[in-house]
Amino acid sequence: MKYQRLHSWRVTPKEAARIQLRFRSKVELTDRLPRIRCVAGADLAFDREGKRAIAGVVVYSFPEMFEIERLWRESPVQFPYVPGLLSFREAPALLKIFARLKNTPDLIFCDAHGYAHPRRFGLTSHLGVLLDVPTIGCAKSVLIGTHTRLPFEAGAWTPLLDDGETVGAVLCTRTGVKPIYVTQGHRVSLQTALKFVVAVLDGFRIPRPTRDADHFVAAVKRGEYSGRRDASRQPTHSFFPVRNRKHIHLLRF
């Protein structure tokens, strides 16, 4: 899977912020999707010192959600932790993973924000632009924005607003639990992003692609996978179907 090399990663925080402002115009907030046959979830974990990142990607067939590939790689971290600039710390490691995948995803879910970002160019959007692939952010906490009160009923959602602009959605994925924050990354509208998030839910608060990716990199960090610095693994189980598609009709637009 190829990606565009539009800028250097060896930059200062000030230069990184300027890059975000320069490239945010490339973000597409309307639907430009192929037929979605393959989706992926991506996440990272860091060592205790924060000097090395473990990036992981899990790939599935869609809509069956059968796992078909997972891949991880350990990489050095070359950018400091700066809120709002996490893509410069995390994207290089993730891009190395996507470049090695055997199965190219048509849509990527990230445990990160995209358009819901102070400069409208978070990690999810950054990856989408560089890979030229539709991306959706599914974050556990809010970065920017406010919203009206949301009933904790599966399928309920409300816009996430920043200075009067809709930058994402607050979505209740399971009755009685806290919501998640869905944001457009690239080449997808907000309503379509919500529909795809609901389509990959399987009874838990966090959508399956990002939840599996999170568990995957955490397991690698604990040493439960090969000691090599990069490794792929075919799933030990061939079939992981999503069983709760009844929730999709609960979305209210």
pTM score: 0.90
Neighbours of 24 (CB within 10 A): 17
Residue given tokens 């410069």 in the structure block? 88
Amino acid at 133: V
Whether residue 242 is contained in a domain is answered as yes
Range of the domain at 216: 13-142+184-250
**CA dist., res. 244 & res. 246, Å (int):** 5
Summarised one tens digit per residue, pLDDT across range 175-189 is 999 999 999 999 999
Structure tokens at 243: 């069983």
**CA dist., res. 84 & res. 123, Å (int):** 9
Instruction: State the average pLDDT for the chain.
Output: 90
Overall number of domains in the chain: 1
Whether residue 171 is contained in a domain is answered as no
Summarised one tens digit per residue, pLDDT across range 20-70 is 999 999 999 999 999 999 999 999 999 988 889 999 999 999 999 999 999
Percent of the chain surpassing pLDDT 70:
89
Whether residue 173 is contained in a domain is answered as no
pLDDT for 251 equals 54
Strands, DSSP E only, in the chain? 38-46, 52-61, 67-76, 107-110, 135-139, 157-162, 165-171, 180-186, 230-233
Whether residue 32 is contained in a domain is answered as yes
CATH number of the domain enclosing 64 = 3.30.2170.10
